[in-house]
Amino acid sequence: MKNAQAKKVEWSRASVPVKCNLGRAIEGHIGAPPRQTRPLDEIVVVHNASTDGTTEFADGACVCAIIVTYNIGQALRRCFDSIRDQVAHVIIVDNGSDEITRGELNKLASANSATIILNERNEGIARALNQGVKCALSKKYPWVLTLDHDSEATPGMVEKLLRTAQLLHQGGRRDVAIVGANHLDRNAGVFLTRLRPVDDSGPVEVEHQRTSGSLINCDVFNKVGFFDEALFMYYVDDDFCLRLRRAGFKLFLCPGAVLLHSEGSKQKRRFLWRKVFYDGYTKQARYYLTRNPFYILRKHHLGAHFYYAATKRLLNDYVKVVLYDEAPVSQILFGLRGLFDALRNRYGPFNS
C-alpha cells in the first residue's frame, strides 16, 4: 500500500502562503474559504534564517524546530509558544490528528510563521520526523531541533544548546552530531539524566540522547541516513544514536538547557513500603515497547548482555503492568503480539 498523501501548508507571519519544496501549497488555511494568492511560480519561501553563512552558532536564526503532533489538542500551544521565538522557523508534522488538533494547527497556520505538513493517517514518529527534516534541509538550515508535541522549551534553551555546540567546535571537535537538552520529567519531578542545571560545568558526552530536545547537526543525515521508519515509534532515538556513534560521531548533553517533558503517563503507586512510578502507556504503545528492542538488538548485532538487559527491563515492566494497570490483560495481550511479531521479523505500523 502506498503511503497516504500528505498536505503541506506554509505561511509567513504576514499570512502570505509560500511554497514548501516537499509538495503543493494549500491556498488558504485549513477549513477556511479560499483567498486570493499569487501563482505558485511567483511564491518564494519566507523565513528568518541568515543566508550569509556567518551565524552558524550565533543564535536561533540557524535552527529549524520540528514538532510532531498527534491528537494533542490545545496543549500544542504550550510547545509551540515555548519555542517559536527561540528559532528561525517551526515545522509541524501532524499524524492524522483529530479535529481539535487540526483546529489548533489551522490557527497557527493563519497567524504564525510555520510550515505545517498534514498526514492523512498516523505515519509514525520516524516517518514524521523524516518529513520535517527533509523540509528543513530543503531550506538549508544547518541545525534542526526535534521536539515531542508535549515538550516545552524553557527560556534560553536553544541559545544554551548552540553555545555548547560552539564551544565544542572552538575546541576542535568536528564530530558533534547532537547536543541535547536536559529533560525534566514533569510527572515525576526529576531530571531523567540525574544532572541538575546547577551542576552544569560544561557539555557531557553521552551514549544516547532522546529525540525530543535534540539539536542535530544536519550534516549527519548525509552520513548515516534518516530515522528508521520500520520502528514506527519508540526506540527510534536508540537506533539513530547507535548509527551515529558507529559512524564516529559524538553526542553531548547540555545540563543547563532544560526541557520540560512528560515521560509516558507516570502515576505514583505504593508497593508495600515503597513508592514507585508506573508508566501508564496505551496498549498500542505496549506493543511497540515490547517489539522494537528486539529489532534494535538484531539490527545492530548487540551482544548477549544487551539481550539480558532488554529482557530484564521488559519483565520489570510487565510486573508493574500486573500490579498497577487498570486493564492488565489487554496490555499483556498486545505485548505478546509485539513479541510474536518480533520473532517473525514483522515491523512497521501495527496491523490489527
Query: Measured between alpha carbons, how far is 303 from 136 in angstroms, rounded to an integer?
Result: 36
**Does the pLDDT of residue 33 top 60, yes or no?**
no
Residue spans of alpha helices (H) in the chain: 76-83, 99-111, 125-138, 157-170, 220-224, 236-246, 283-299, 304-324, 328-343
What pLDDT score does 12 carry? 34
pLDDT at position 89? 93
226 close to 152: Cβ distance less than 8 angstroms: no
Cβ atoms of 222 and 270 closer than 8 Å: no
| Separation of first and last alpha carbons in the chain | 15
Structural domain boundaries in the chain: 6-261, 266-343
Residue 127 identity: R
Which whole number is the average pLDDT over 191-199? 73
Average pLDDT over residues 248-257: 94
Confidence of residue 79 (pLDDT cuts 50, 70, 90): very high
Say what the pLDDT of residue 267 is. Answer: 63
pLDDT at 193 over 60: yes
User: Alpha-carbon distance 148 to 93, whole Å?
Assistant: 11
Whether 8 has a pLDDT exceeding 50, the answer reads: yes
Please tell me the predicted confidence (pLDDT) of residue 95: 96
Per-residue confidence (pLDDT) for residue 340, from 0 to 100: 95
In the predicted structure, residue 32 carries a pLDDT above the cut 80? no
- The share of the chain scoring above pLDDT 70, in percent, equals 76
Whole-number pLDDT of residue 238: 95
The predicted structure's pLDDT at residue 229: 96
Q: Kindly state the helix (H) or strand (E) to which residue 134 belongs, with its residue range.
A: helix 125-138
Q: Which CATH class is domain 6-261?
A: alpha beta
Give yes or no for a contact between 47 and 140, defined as CB atoms under 8 angstroms apart: no
DSSP type of residue 62:
G
Residue 266 reports pLDDT greater than 70: no
On average, the pLDDT of the chain sits at 81
Question: Letter for the amino acid at 7?
Answer: K
Task: Report how far residue 349's alpha carbon sits from residue 127's, in angstroms, rounded to the nearest whole number.
Answer: 11
User: Which three-class secondary structure string do you get for 309-320?
Assistant: HHHHHHHHHHHH
Tell me the longest C-alpha to C-alpha distance in the chain.
69
At 230 the pLDDT is 95
pLDDT reported for residue 306: 86
How high is the pLDDT of residue 352?
59
8 Å CB contact between 177 and 244: yes
With bands split at pLDDT 50, 70 and 90, how would you rate the model's confidence at 29? very low
- Kind of pairing, strands 114-119 and 63-69? unpaired
**Taking 50 as the threshold, does the pLDDT of residue 191 lie above it?**
yes
Task: List 269's β-bridge partners, or say none.
Answer: 276
pLDDT, residue 305, reads 85
The reported pLDDT for the residue numbered 53 is 35
Task: With a cut of 80, say whether residue 258 has pLDDT above it.
Answer: yes
Answer yes or no: are the C-beta atoms of 43 and 168 closer than 8 Å.
no
Task: Note the pLDDT of residue 199.
Answer: 60
17 pLDDT above the threshold of 60: no
> Quick check: pTM over 0.95?
no
- Report the C-alpha gap between 159 and 327 in whole angstroms: 44
70 burial class (0-12, 13-18, 19+ CB within 10 angstroms)? Answer: buried
Grade residue 337 by pLDDT with cuts at 50, 70 and 90.
very high
User: Is the pLDDT assigned to residue 264 strictly greater than 90?
Assistant: no
- Give the pLDDT confidence of 267-313 residue by residue, as tens digits: 666 666 677 766 778 899 999 999 999 999 999 998 888 888 888 98
Per-residue pLDDT for 239 more than 90? yes
- Over 90: is that where the pLDDT of 83 sits? yes
* Amino acid (one-letter) located at 277: F
